[in-house]
Chain A
Amino acid sequence: MKVLEVRGLTTRFYTLEGVVKAVENVSFEMWGGKTLGLVGESGCGKTVTALSIMRLIPQGEIVSGNVRYKGRELLKLPEGEMRRIRGGEIAMIFQEPLLSLNPVFTIGNQIVEAIVVHKRTSRMEAESFMIKLLELVGIPSPREMAGCYPHQLSGGMRQRVMIAMAISTQPSVLIADEPTTALDVTIASQILELMRELQSKFKMSILLITHDLGVIAEMADAVAVMYAGEIVECAEVGHLFKKPLHPYTKGLLECLPDPVRRETYLKTIPGHVPDLRNLPSGCNFQDRCPYAIQVCKEAKPHLVDVGSGTFVSCHLYQEEL
């Protein structure tokens, strides 16, 4: 079942130095119980995409696009109804769990708050449910831990608390914005394992934002690759790793260090990400692309269906007009 559909989402920030085109014409779909990975370098608009879905862009403006959640258009919803969606239907966890939890309230308090906002339960019931949630996400002796403040917990425990808070309302969609970036490798894989467990238990769709292709390979069913505010390639995870089409995706995969064949130089993609305030005409990737041709400087490529569920935005695959 199609749970969330994003079409032509465009979000901009208006600064003194110009308009920042943070997210430009982004489209993707999320299916029930599946994980969509959103991958790209820092600053390519992954987080802004997620926050736009939640309509939490206080400094900027969602210029156009549609976000349809189970048939309802979120971008046109009155603020009061949108609040019921936030946390209730679409929950979110963040990169830095210490900064994402309020330092002056106990973790139990913060989870109970999330429950009470969306469910008509007494405080007592909410508290016993909160203990159950802490147990569910694997926090030892949850009754004592509930009285702890965020700074008293380890990074992994904090992220478990964030997850407990997010799933407290059994949302249909979980947006995980770099959930393991700030964690140790072993802790990170525990968190990913937990997310997978909870996903199959609650049939959640997960939008997994990361710059780590390893995490994508482990978790995602489908992948959308973002570059400079746009989606450049969208494919099933197997296809993407086996046969990447977009030059940027190819570059990303080549950058992964090979543990068997140690090379003298780590591969990188030459050049820099373009300034989002001052994007080139034509393809955003033209300056760094080894396959760039004349048309790349002149026209913007569009996302086209190249079969087997793969979409790519590159002139190399564009059909003749």
Chain B
Amino acid sequence: MTKYVLKRFLQCIPTLFGITVISFVIIHIAPGSPIGMQLNPKTSPKIVEEMRKNYDLDKPLHIQYFLWLKKLFSGRLYSFKDGKPVLQKIRERLPATLILNITSILLIFGFAIPLGVFSATHRYSFLDNLGTLLAYIGISIPGFWLAYILILGVVKLSGMPVLGMRTFAVEGLRFLELALDRIWHLVLPSLILAIGGIAGISRYMRSSMLEVIRQDYIRTAYAKGLTEDEVYYKHALRNALLPIITIFGFLIPGLIGGSVIVETVFAWPGIGRLAYQSVLSRDYPTVMTIMTISAFLTLFGTLVADILYAVADPRIRYGTK
């Protein structure tokens, strides 16, 4: 098992390399340049040339790539936009993104799995049909639209601001009030972020459960004299959860990559918004670094899913025999 994990980890390296090369090329081919974003069009060509030299933009593309790689690993990569170290910029944004995305993942699994199991065990009942309807609405509704509607509603009802991570310019709160203020600000964005996931994964869970209930070993479990609950929650659920593990792996990259739309709508100071702003200002070092981290986490997520799979399903054993 350890050998398998190590092997998979090493296999990630060439993939990651390929991803960074492609991203690097794409972002440099994209129209616009970092200089044009910063300088007045009337600036003399001499200064433009000097700045290009400053940012190594005058060198051939492959040299630029290796310079970027070198700077990334030596920690001397600076943003084109404000000259701050890129890693520091990302680190500043990390806590906000993590708390938002962990909350929404917890919401997704906390709601989707029970909902899916309930729908499957009460198939074609009124509540199951209602769940199906709501799931389709949840999947099809655009997040940014729902976000604005909810913001309008909440502000109208409570008069409390819901943008950012905390109420602006309020001082001297006690700890409890501060915590409540933070949670209040977290509710809407994490809910909006989770709604599509809840809708989708609860459907996934439902069909997975229905698939398992048809299996012969479920009949065996009934023939043993087990109650319906024992059959569903012991024998069926464990098998039905296996495919869901794969989805969990897909959600891991979102932990850091964040969500551009939700973070923008809610003025959430996370990495998604940083990436968006960096793209707009052609801040190559920041964009590339965020992309690399996301790519790494995607690969890491599938690896984690594979490992969890082997832990949960005894039929899968990597590397043995």
Contact = CB atoms under 8 A, between A and B. Distances in A.
11 contacts: A83-B225, A83-B226, A87-B225, A100-B219, A101-B217, A102-B221, A103-B217, A104-B313, A106-B314, A117-B224, A117-B226
Contacts of A51: 219
Q: Which of A85, A104, A165 counts the most B-chain CB atoms under 10 A from its CB? A: A104
Contacts of B221: 102
B225 A96 contact: no
A103 B313 contact: yes
Interface string A83-116: 1111110011010100111111110000001100
A92 B223 contact: yes
A126 interface: no
A102 B315 CA distance: 11
Given A118-B225, A149-B314, A165-B224, A102 B235 contact: yes
A101 B226 CA distance: 14
A56 interface: yes
Contacts of B220: 92, 94, 100-102, 162, 165
Nearest to B227: A83
Contact of A86 (B223, B238, B242): B223
Nearest to A103: B315
A151 interface: yes
Contacts of A92: 220, 223
A3 to B, nearest CB: 18
Nearest to A175: B223
A221 B308 CA distance: 52
A81 B231 CA distance: 17
B215 interface: yes
A213 B140 CA distance: 58
Given A100-B216, A118-B225, 7 more contacts: A54-B222, A85-B225, A94-B216, A102-B239, A103-B313, A104-B238, A149-B314
Given A104-B313, A149-B314, A149-B315, A99 B217 contact: yes
Nearest to A82: B225
B224 A114 contact: yes
A112 B227 CA distance: 16
Contacts of B235: 102, 105
Nearest to B241: A104
Interface of A: 51, 54, 56, 83-88, 91-92, 94, 96, 99-106, 113-114, 117-118, 149, 151, 162, 165
Interface string B308-321: 00001111000000
Contacts of A99: 215-217
User: Nearest 5 CB-CB pairs, A to B?
Assistant: A87-B225, A99-B216, A87-B224, A86-B225, A149-B314
B217 to A, nearest CB: 4
Residues of B in contact with A, size category: 20 to 34
Contact of A100 (B217, B242, B315): B217
B314 A151 contact: yes
A96 B216 contact: yes
Interface string B247-274: 0000000000000000000000000000
Contacts of A100: 216-217, 219-220
A77 to B, nearest CB: 13
Contacts, number: 70
Interface of B: 215-217, 219-227, 235, 238-239, 242, 312-315
A11 to B, nearest CB: 15
B312 A104 contact: yes
B224 A103 contact: no
B219, B225, B314, B315 pick with most chain A CB within 10 angstroms: B225
Nearest to A101: B217
A56 B40 CA distance: 79
A85 B314 CA distance: 32
Nearest to A168: B224
Nearest to B225: A87
Given A104-B239, A149-B315, A113 B224 contact: yes
B216 A86 contact: no
Given A87-B225, A88-B225, A165-B224, A103 B219 contact: no
A84 B315 contact: no
B125 to A, nearest CB: 15
B154 to A, nearest CB: 44
B123 to A, nearest CB: 11
Contact of B315 (A83, A113, A114, A151): A151
A88 B223 CA distance: 9
Nearest to B221: A102
B87 to A, nearest CB: 43
Contacts of A96: 216
B314 A117 contact: no
A103 B227 contact: no
Contacts of B239: 102-104
Nearest to B213: A58
Contacts of B215: 99
Contacts of A56: 219, 222-223
Contacts of A113: 224, 226
A316 B247 CA distance: 65
A94 B219 contact: yes
A86 B221 CA distance: 10
Contacts of B225: 83-88, 114, 117-118
A165 B225 CA distance: 12
Which residue, of B217, B224, B238, has the highest number of chain A Cβ atoms within 10 A?
B224
Contacts of A106: 314
Contacts of A102: 217, 220-221, 235, 239
B30 to A, nearest CB: 48
